Amino acid sequence: MVIIGELINASRKTIAAHIEKQDAEAIRKIAREQFEAGVDYIDVNAGTFVGKEADYIKWLVTQVQAVVAAPCCLDSPDPAVIEAGLSVHQGTPMINSISLEKDRYDQLLPLVAGTDFKVVALCMSNAGMPKTVDDRLAIAEQLVNGLLQNHVKIDNIYVDPLVQPLSVNQDFGKEFLNSIDKIMTTFKGIHTVCGLSNISYGLPNRQLLNQLFMVMAIERGLDAAIVDPLDQRMMANIAAAEALTGKDAYCMNYLKGHRSGKFKLS
């Protein structure tokens, strides 16, 4: 399971404040905590700062990589911002994300073409948000084919089928889960990823719903996730889900997590 730590995101008020004050130590601390919790990538997002987003993402990448030996997940719909992040990034980043929205697709594709970057391919198009499995498959197919034709390896593609809130339509959970399964079986060697907290929008006990939806998605084949790695129950659930579905040889990773005391469950 590839874990992308989601905490350094300007849509969170404390992070926005740290960015505005250019409080390097605060950002570095959150990078360190996520790294110690076991993430593979650290997401950096400065999306709320219109006009300053490019400068701020450069600063974020620099602060994060000053203290941890992990690549970043450069998180912006704006190709210029991604390019700014790339200009200071060390190692092989993840790009979050390309989609089938025309401008975004046309401008991001040349940036990732022929590279070894990991690329999140978001199932969204100019026609709007997908609802059904078929909607998602149609978008995924065009995105995946476009990336392959531009020499992005299938193993570097992470399709995000786009979670939508259960409170809007009771079938949105099921359609998403079936999409994970369908994408993983249709495109051999590909990956799926998501930030799944949208599922619980408007419902009580959001954390419980997010944690359980993660477990179901892993059961259906999800192999990467954008999460809060400091949520110990979420991390325990991910390890347990991998063990329960035969993806953790001899349950070694689950047992290791347990022994390290990382699984505080209450």
Tell me which stretch binds its own copies (CB under 8 A): 92-100, 124-132, 135-143, 251-259. 251-259
- Selection from 196, 197, 220, 223 nearest residue 40 by Cα: 223
Q: Is position 248 an interface residue for its own copies (rule: CB under 8 A)?
A: yes
Q: Is position 235 an interface residue for its own copies (rule: CB under 8 A)?
A: no
In this structure, how many other beta carbons lie within 10 angstroms of the beta carbon of residue 163?
23
Residue with Cβ nearer its own copies (189 or 202) = 202
Q: Is position 240 an interface residue for its own copies (rule: CB under 8 A)?
A: yes
74/93 Cα distance (integer angstroms): 7
Residue with Cβ nearer its own copies (147 or 209) = 209
3/196 Cα distance (integer angstroms): 13
Q: Taking CB under 8 A as the criterion, which residues in 142-181 touch its own copies?
A: 166-167, 170-171, 173-174, 177
15/11 Cα distance (integer angstroms): 8
Q: Which helix (H) or strand (E) holds 34?
A: helix 24-36
Among 28, 29, 32, 220, binds its own copies (CB under 8 A): 220
In this structure, how many other beta carbons lie within 10 angstroms of the beta carbon of residue 48?
17
Interstrand relation of 224-227 and 2-5 (parallel, antiparallel or unpaired): parallel
Q: Is position 209 an interface residue for its own copies (rule: CB under 8 A)?
A: yes
Residue with Cβ nearer its own copies (150 or 245) = 245
Contacts with its own copies by CB under 8 A lie at: 166-167, 170-171, 173-174, 177, 199, 203-205, 208-209, 212-213, 215-216, 219-220, 236-237, 240-241, 243-246, 248-251, 254-255, 258, 263, 265-266
